[in-house]
Amino acid sequence: MVHQDVKYLKFKTYLNTYCPHCKNTFNWERKEEKYLVFKAKYKGELIDLKLSPYLDVFEVVSSKPIAEGDILDDLICPKCKKSLIVDNIKCAECGSAAAEMIITAFSKLIPFFICMKCGCPWHGLTKADENKIKLKIPRQEMPEQDQKLRVTNYQEVPYGYTSELAELEAGRCLQCKEPKCVDGCPVNINIPEFIRLTSEGKYDEAVKKIKERNILPAICGRVCPQESQCEAKCILGLRDRPVAIGNLERFLADYERRMELVKIPEIKKRINKRIAVVGSGPAGLTVAADLQQLGYSVTIFEALHEPGGVLVYGIPEFRLPKAIVHAEIDYLKQLGVKIELNCVVGKTVTVQELRENFDAVFIGVGAGLPVFMNIEGENLGNIFSANEYLTRMNLMKAYRFPEYDTPKPRGNKVVVIGGGNVAMDSARTAIRTGASEVTIVYRRSRAELPARIEEVRHAEEEGIKFMLLTNPVKYIGNDQMMVKGMECIRMKLGEPDSSGRRRPIPIEGSNFVIDCDLVVVAIGTTSNPLIFQNFPELKRNKWGYIEVNPETNETSVENVYAGGDIVTGSATVIQAMGAGRIAANAIHKKLSGEDNSIQNEIKNEIEKVTEPVTVNNDNNKS
C-alpha cells in the first residue's frame, strides 16, 4: 500500500539510472507516474520505496511512512537484491551512510549518491558532473488554462509554478561564475543568487534579492520579454532551453503576496527635498520608489483616474491581473509616495510650475499618441486605435459591462493591424468579446513578428488567424458610415531596413478585400505633444521624443529628467524601469552630493524592515 500523505512529482522525461552491480535500471513509469524504485530496510522492516528521479529532489513514496530526518538501515536493488550502501563513503552534509547508483548523462557514466537520512539533499557529485545532469532536465512549463475555456473568460491564462516546479526549474541553473543573464537584465538583478535561494526553498530571501533591483517583480515576471533579454544570455540556452527566469520571478513575487510577506522598508532619514514624477507607469514608479526609500518626498502626477499607466490601461486582465498592479501601487503608497490623480500635466499644471515647486522633476508619460496609417476611409465607425480599444476594455472595465458603465466594442469579424504585443493583446481581447472571427494582418512574415513567442502561441491556440505579408490600403464603409471591409495588398520582403528586418514591398495587382465590421489599428504610438505646449524649451529629437543625457537621463532643462517610452519610443516595462533607475541615481547624486548608488543603500537597508504588511483583500486575488 503506497503511503498517500507524501506528494510526488510527475515528469515527461527523466534521467537513466542504474544499479552499479547488475546494471539494471531503477527507472519505473506508468503513464505519467515516474520514479526510481528500490527496496529498503527501515526500522528492521523491508519496505517498498520510490524516489523522484531528478537531481536535488528526493521526495519519498513508501509502503511505510518515513519521518523527515529518519535514517534508512539499507537501500537494496529490487533486481539483484544487493545492498547499494558504500562502506567507505559517508554523506558530506550529515555523516550518514550513502547508497550509490549510476547515472548516464551525454553518454557518460556518473556515480550518484543518496544519503540514507530522509530529507538530506547531498548527492556527492562534482560541480562538472552536476551540471552535466542538469542539462538533461527539461525546462518546466507553467500549467495553463484550457484553450477552449480561456476564450470565454478574462482570467489569467498561465496558472504559475507550484513550489515543486519552481525548485526543479531553479535547479537547472548552472550558477555560472560570470553570469551573462545579469548583463541581459536592464536593471541588473542578481539572477543566479535569487535562483539559488529558490532551489533551496528560501523564497522570502529570494524575492528580497530581486527587490534590491526591481520593485515590480510580479509585473515583470509576466509581461517582460525575458526570451530576448536575460534568458537570451543564459549559458544553458546554448545546449538546451534557457532557465525560465521570468517564470521564477513571477512565482516568487506571487508567493510573497499570497503569504502576506510583503514588508515596507523603514525610512530612517528624511531629506528635505521634493520630487515631482509625471506619469505612473513603470519608469515613474521606479523613480518614486527609489527616491522615497532614501527619504525624499515624492509626488506622482497621473492624468488618468487610476495609477499604473500602461500597466492598467494597455495590458489585458488575462495577461496581467489588475489586482497585482494595485498591490504594487499600494506598496508605494505605504512607503509614503503621494499620488495626484486626474492631473493632466500640460493642462491642469505645467512642467514649469512643477519646476518652481519641486527640487527635481521626472517625466515618464510614455508614448501615448496612437499612430494611424492615413489611408482612405480611416474616419469610418468601428475603427479604433489599440490605445482606445484596450483602454475601454481594461481601464474602463468594458469587459464587465453592464456592471461598469462602458459598453465593450463589439464586432463579429474583427481585424487587428500590426504584429507586436499590443496587436496580440487586442486580438485576444476581441476573441473574448464573442467575435466569430479575429484576424491579425501584418505586412511582414512570421519571422519578423515583433510580439513575444508566447503571445503568438497563445493567440494561435485561441483560434486567431494570421494574414501575413499583407498591408491595408483602404477601408470600405456601408450606408451608415460603419466599416464593412478592408482592401489589402500582398507584400514581399526586400532588403533589411534600419530596424534590421527585411523591408516589405507591395506586389502590384495583388489587391483583395477582407470582410470586417471592427478594426483595431496597433501599428505603434508616438509622443503626446500636450506636455510640450507650455514647455517649448524641452529639447526633442526628430521623432518628437525627449532628448536626454544617456548617463543621467537629464533633459536639456536643468533638474528635469525623463525616461521610458517618452525618450526611447515603445519599449519594454523593464527597460522603462532601467531608465527610471538611471534618473533616480542621478537625481540623488545631484541633490545630495553623494556618489553612492541608490541600490547599494537600499541593499544595506533591505533587511531592516517593519512587520509584514497585508495589502487590501482585493489585491490579494490573482
* Cα dihedral 585/588/592/596 (nearest 10): -30
Predicted confidence (pLDDT) at residue 248 exceeds the cutoff of 60: yes
Res 119: pLDDT: 82
Pinpoint the residues of the chain covered by CATH 1.10.1060.10: 147-258
The residue among 192, 262, 208 whose CA lies nearest residue 604 is 208
CATH topology of domain 369-525: FAD/NAD(P)-binding domain (3.50.50)
Res 6: pLDDT: 27
Pairing of strands 525-526, 413-417: unpaired
Predicted confidence (pLDDT) at residue 484 exceeds the cutoff of 80: yes
pLDDT average, residue stretch 505-517: 96
Binned at pLDDT 50, 70 and 90, residue 598 comes out as low
Who contacts 501 (Cβ-Cβ below 8 Å, separation ≥6)? 444, 448
pLDDT average, residue stretch 334-356: 93
Predicted confidence (pLDDT) at residue 9 exceeds the cutoff of 60: no
pLDDT digits (tens, 9 = 90+) for 170-198: 989 999 989 999 999 988 999 999 999 99
Res 618: pLDDT: 35
Predicted confidence (pLDDT) at residue 616 exceeds the cutoff of 70: no
Res 79: pLDDT: 94
Q: What DSSP letter does each residue of 490-546 carry, written as one string? A: EEEEEEE-TTSSEEEEE-TT--EEEE-SEEEE-S-EE--GGGGTT-TTS-B-TTSPB
Q: Per mean pLDDT, which range of 21-35, 173-187, 196-210, 586-600 is the poorest?
A: 586-600
From the candidate CATH numbers 3.20.190.10, 3.50.50.60, 1.10.1740.10, 3.30.360.10, the one assigned to the domain spanning 263-368+527-620:
3.50.50.60
Interatomic CA distance for residues 284 and 129, integer angstroms: 46
Binned at pLDDT 50, 70 and 90, residue 493 comes out as very high
Judged by DSSP in three states, 297 sits in strand
The answer for 279, left when phi > 0, alpha when psi is -120 to 50, beta otherwise, is: left
The residue among 622, 578, 586 whose CA lies nearest residue 216 is 578
CB 580 within 8 A of CB 364: yes
Binned at pLDDT 50, 70 and 90, residue 355 comes out as very high
Binned at pLDDT 50, 70 and 90, residue 108 comes out as confident
Predicted confidence (pLDDT) at residue 105 exceeds the cutoff of 80: no
CB 426 within 8 A of CB 518: no
Binned at pLDDT 50, 70 and 90, residue 596 comes out as low
pLDDT average, residue stretch 229-250: 93
Interatomic CA distance for residues 102 and 129, integer angstroms: 12
Predicted confidence (pLDDT) at residue 449 exceeds the cutoff of 70: yes
Res 411: pLDDT: 93
The DSSP code for 306 is S
Res 59: pLDDT: 66
pLDDT average, residue stretch 575-599: 84
Pairing of strands 274-278, 297-301: parallel
CB 122 within 8 A of CB 108: no
Q: Which strand (E) or helix (H) includes residue 360? A: strand 360-363
Task: Decide yes or no: CATH 1.10.1060.10 for domain 147-258.
Answer: yes
Res 57: pLDDT: 57
Residue type, 336: G
Predicted confidence (pLDDT) at residue 483 exceeds the cutoff of 90: yes
Res 14: pLDDT: 55
Res 5: pLDDT: 28
> For a pLDDT cut of 70, what percent of the chain falls above it?
92
Q: Is 6 or 214 the better-scoring residue by pLDDT?
A: 214
pLDDT digits (tens, 9 = 90+) for 120-158: 888 888 888 877 777 778 899 999 999 899 999 999 999
Res 571: pLDDT: 85
Q: Taking the mean position of all CA atoms in its chain, how far away is CA 357?
A: 37
With cell 481585424, the residue in question is: 415
Predicted confidence (pLDDT) at residue 10 exceeds the cutoff of 60: no
Pinpoint the residues of the chain covered by CATH 3.50.50.60: 263-368+527-620, 369-525
Instruction: Annotate 315-329 with three-state secondary structure.
Output: CCCCCCCHHHHHHHH
Q: Is 437 or 595 the better-scoring residue by pLDDT?
A: 437
Interatomic CA distance for residues 464 and 427, integer angstroms: 7
pLDDT average, residue stretch 243-251: 96
| Edge-to-edge order in the sheet of strand 518-521 | 383-385, 518-521, 413-417, 437-442, 465-468
Interatomic CA distance for residues 327 and 317, integer angstroms: 14
Predicted confidence (pLDDT) at residue 386 exceeds the cutoff of 50: yes
pLDDT average, residue stretch 253-277: 90
**Cell numbers found for residue 197:** 535561494
Predicted confidence (pLDDT) at residue 2 exceeds the cutoff of 60: no
Taking the whole predicted model, whether its pTM rises above 0.85 is answered as no
Quote the strand ranges of 398-482, DSSP E. Answer: 413-417, 437-442, 465-468, 470-477
Q: Is 491 or 268 the better-scoring residue by pLDDT?
A: 491
* Mean of per-residue pLDDT scores for the chain: 88
Residue type, 594: E
